[in-house]
Structure 1
Amino acid sequence: MNKSENIQANRTEDGGLPPRQRHMVLGIMMAGTTAACISQSMMIAALPTIMQEFLVGAGLAQLITTAYIFTLGLFSAMSAYLVSKLDARRLFFIAMVGFIVGCCASLFATNYPVLLASRLVQAIGAGILLPLIQVVALSVYPKSQYGKAMGIVGIIIGFAPAIGPAISGFIVDAWGWRAVFVALGTVSAAVTLLAIPFLPNVMRKPATHQHFDTPSAVLFSFGAICLLAATACIEQSGWGVVAAASITLGAVLLFAFARRQLRIPNPLLKVSCFANRQFTVGLVLVLLGNLSFMAASIMVPLFVQDVQGASAAVSGLAILPGAVLLGFLNPITGRLLDSHGPWPLLVAGCALLLGGTLAFVACDAETPLWVVTVLYGVRICGVACLQMPMTAYASKQLSGDDVAQGTAIITSIRQISSALLSSVLIGIMALASSGDLGIDAHGFGVAFSILAALTIVGFVFGAVFLPKRRKASGRR
């Protein structure tokens, strides 16, 4: 009996693995996934430098972050199929190698288009790793501990992107933005080599009957790309015929994609999961938490650098305490979901997000840096109540093979929507500002006013549909 067979034989009656084995598996995979997660935001602190070196504006430069997240979301949609075809160990190594190749290409980029393309190669590997580690976590923990499982995974999914600007700020100031990819590639290669003798396969033997539906992939990808193109047009030249046509075409393609998923036996994404109302409610709240986190993690460093005139390192330090706080809170809020259900987390999360967001609207160039740091931390507390707990809540509504499908849906839509909406918010921030390349306090306040309004809408939606009683949190 090999190591993987031993792993399966040791599963407990409730479907989980003994603590020692689950910690080993998650520890190895989390180490590898950290680089992919942190890469989402490590270029944020380098944006002003890249804008000057390649002579691009904020709306175009931020694509190396938002397009990365967008591509990550596209490939996350393919993860359910990949999990059904390949074991977790093999899929992990394929994704890690793809990410390393992207880092090498980014390191030697000679112009902005090449840099952007290289970032998308990295995102392909990350798009496999993020849903994979969530599926593995839900596989090694029993259903009664899904909140705990997502809380642990949330340490890297939330914490790693949050510390990215702080780490890259020091690297950029000391050695330049290219050194960021040296660090990412070196760490990823070391983890990959060390995982070869130690990482077992914890997933049951994948089904071999499922086939990849190419028309679905084409409809989904081009539909999402049309929406991204529309946001880019709006950022560069405002609302126009091209933007309207792109949105219309994207909506038509995605509608056709959804209809096809309901009619074929092996859908790329099982959209019928949305028939489960509580899964849909949980997903909406995940989107609110992720957008609130991702948009602020991009806009606040830009505010500190462009409005307050601080360095890249200082802008990273401004949000570093919030990053540490998020890593500390994710396991706690996950356990709170298991013990108290989703309702208290909804109330606390939206209240903290709204308070911190409205306070940011009043910030200007004279606002002390410690105030910016505190307000960012307040918002992070709200994010911690929504992002990973609601991921666990939505996943808990599903069972069997639908868990992998649900994870793919959550990860894909979370990343794509956050990329699109963050791009829109940054575009609005830039358009509302008077600077040609940078931003000002007025544009910053406008963007955060929109975030505040979205928080109110999200709370009302959750208050209407989310069950108030603890016993309902596990209902299917």
Structure 2
Amino acid sequence: MGAMQRMIEDTDQRPDGLPRRQRFVVLAVMMSGTTAACISQSMMISALPTIMHEYGVNASLGQLLTTSYIFTLGLISAMTAFLVHRVNSKTLFIASMLCFVTGCAAALFAPNYPLLLASRLLQAGGAGIALPLIQVVALSVYPKSEYGRAMGLVGLIIGFAPAIGPTVSGFLIDFWGWRSVFVVLGIITMVVIALALPLLTDVVKRPDEPERFDVPSGLLYTLGFCAVMAGVTLAEAGEGFALAAAAAFVAGATALAVFARRQLRIENPLLKLACFRSRTFTVSTVLVLAAQVAFMAGSIMVPLFVQDVQGDSAAVSGLTILPGAVLLGMLNPVTGRMLDRRGPRPLIVVGCAVLVAGTLAFCLLDANTPEWVVTVLYGVRTVGVACLMMPLTAHACAALPTADIAQGTAIITSFRQIFGSIASSALIAVMASASGNPLGIDAFGFGVSFAVQAALIVVGFVVGMALLPRTAKG
């Protein structure tokens, strides 16, 4: 039995997990660094109109600064289960922060759009390690009976940080320009590294016999999803690229099919897809993905709507979604405790109902809609997201053996980011194709895209209620 499994099982037997002081120090330092990495994924949203005009790119290309970041984060997250078993958590965390701060420095001096995009991918490499790592650490220092609480704490950064990113960056951009975003992120990350060196300890122990990294699996997974993402991007480019887009989709689907088959046959898979043999894990993951798509698409499209359709500033667009961001941060720990006490079904019912209602209401907005209405509707949607995303992540992991927790968090984190970015790109493409201007956004296209989102959430609700196994808590 690996050391990581023994440590988690020992934690199950101690009601308080690690000593409170050690738990607080480890989580505080790691959550601070991971917050910087998470908030970065959305901080370019408020800067998109400025960058689009500065570099002469449209909305479909400009949004890659956010969606490609999250896509890359998802790809790297898939490798984290292997890294957790190979490298101690302190070293791995510091390495992720060094990668992230290097990307910030590169973005600060990027002279053109391709290099800016490349620097964003470097930042995503660091974030892709830090995000699943903090989940493994949180589940390691809390007993299994408190997984809802553990993931509620992690939800403070996973949900709250990206949600406030547009607000924070909006003020920075209006006062000092979009490059100031990377100055602030870089400084914060360097402070975290300085604190991590003396304060962090390795709470996730490595197994006695580390797993071997399966190179073919890594290549198949990366190339498969990259081809799918390329297909989405080419489809957005217009009818002239339809054949190339179709070829990319076919190539990506083939690579991913070979990848999935390989994971079920080899001894040390990159992602243990056998976890999906648990119906609870599978259904919970589907609902997490639906919530992620709604959250990510909304956080990108609403600021674009406020700036490009209603004509307001970056700061105003950020303030529009700030109350929803604060609400999400406050609700994640609450919904985590509700999961521990009541089970998942009440959260699924409330979450999907509220999310569908808020999403359909967005279909009715136009250029004259008051900002407070947009703010309230965005807040309504975040209530639904808070009921689904982190509670069902915890519920999915609780259905797995303790030895598979690292794999379960890697699967959910990777899939959530990758599917969220691909689906968001597709929804933005729907908005662009339905819109009647060169920028690819107007009130009609915005409404069409949100109608599609509502339909996806309804499908997720039906799947969840029909197939999720019942537990003693509902």
Counterparts of 1:346 and 1:293, CA distance in 2: 15
Aligned partner of 1:72 in structure 2 is: 73
Residue 205 (structure 1) shift: 3.1
Corresponding position of 2:166: 165
Which of 316, 338, 341 lines up with 1:339 in the alignment?
341
Gaps of 5+ in 2: 1-6
Q: Do 1:15 and 1:142's aligned partners in 2 also have CA atoms closer than 8 Å?
A: yes
Residue in structure 1 matching 2:394, options 389, 392, 404: 392
CA offsets, 1:4-44, max 9 Å, x none? xx999998535822333222211111011000000010000
8 Å contact from structure 2 (residues 12, 144) kept in 1: no
Deviation above 4 Å: which 4+ runs of structure 1? 6-12
Query: Match for residue 276 of structure 1?
Result: 278
> Distance between the aligned counterparts of 1:326 and 1:159, measured in 2?
6
Deviation at 1:206, TM superposition (A): 3.5
The equivalent position to 2:355 in structure 1, one of 343, 349, 353, is 353
Q: Which residue of 1 aligns with 2:327?
A: 325
Deviates further, 71-80 or 459-468: 459-468
Aligned residue in 2 for 1:130: 131
In 2: Cα distance, 1:331 partner to 1:301 partner = 26
Deviation string 1:383-412 (CA, Å, 9 cap, x unpaired) is 000010010000101122210000000000
Query: 1-side partners of 2:89 and 2:97: how far apart?
Result: 12
Equivalent residue of 2:41, what SS?
A: coil
Kept in 2: contact 1:391–1:410 (CA 8 A)? yes
Task: Give the TM-score normalised by structure 2.
Answer: 0.96
* RMSD value, Cα: 1.6
C-alpha distance 76-274 of structure 1, shift in aligned 2 (>3 A): same
The one-letter code of the counterpart of 1:40 is: Q
Partner amino acid, structure 1, of 2:393: T
In the other structure, the counterpart of 1:102 is 103
1:441-468 Cα distance to aligned partner (Å, 9 max, x none): 0010010000010011000000101234
Q: Distance in 1 between matches of 2:283 and 2:172?
A: 40
How far apart are 1:241 and its partner, in Å?
1.1
Pairs within 5 Å for 1:23-34: 23-34=24-35
Asked if the contact 2:106/2:119 (under 8 Å) is kept, the reply is yes
Residues in 2 aligned to 1:285 and 1:258: alpha-carbon distance in whole angstroms: 21
Q: Name the SS of the counterpart of 2:204 in structure 1.
A: coil
How far does the alpha carbon of each residue in 1:310-349 deviate from its partner, in whole angstroms, 9 at most, with x for none? 0000000000000000000000000000000000000000
| Matched residue, 1:259 | 261
CA contact (8 A) 2:32 2:192 kept: yes
Distance 1:219 1:342 in 2: 34
Is it true that 1:402 corresponds to 2:404 in the alignment? yes
1:57 and 2:58 aligned: yes
Is residue 95–residue 125 contact of structure 1 (8 Å, CA) maintained in 2?
yes
The 1-side partners of 2:355 and 2:80 are apart by: 31
The answer for the alignment partner of 1:41 in structure 2 is: 42
Identity %: 61
Q: Which runs of 5+ in 1 are unaligned?
A: 1-5
Structure 1 residue aligned with 2:467: 465
TM-superposed CA distance for 1:195, in Å, is: 1.7
Residues 419, 7 of structure 1: CA spacing in aligned structure 2 closer, same or farther, 3 A cutoff? closer
For the Cα contact (< 8 Å) 1:46–1:312, is it kept in 2? yes
Greater mean alpha carbon deviation, residues 428-437 or residues 114-123: 428-437
Post-superposition CA distance 1:226-264 (Å, at most 9, x none):
000000011111471111111111010000001111111
Give the TM-score taking structure 1 as reference length. 0.96
Query: Which string of whole-angstrom CA distances, capped at 9 and with x for unpartnered residues, describes residues 80-137 of structure 1?
Result: 0000101111100000000000000000000000000000000000000000000000
Tell me the distance in 2 between the aligned counterparts of 1:88 and 1:96: 12
What is the aligned length? 467
After the TM superposition, which residues 46-445 of structure 1 pair with which residues of structure 2 at under 5 Å, given as runs? 46-238=47-239, 240-445=242-447
Paired position in structure 2 for 1:3 = none
The 1:220/1:15 distance shift into structure 2, 3 A limit, reads: farther
Alpha-carbon distance between aligned partners in 1 of 2:316 and 2:210, rounded to the nearest angstrom:
53
Secondary structure of 2:402's match? coil
- Specify the code of the residue in structure 2 equivalent to 1:370: W
Q: Distance between the aligned counterparts of 1:420 and 1:452, measured in 2?
A: 17
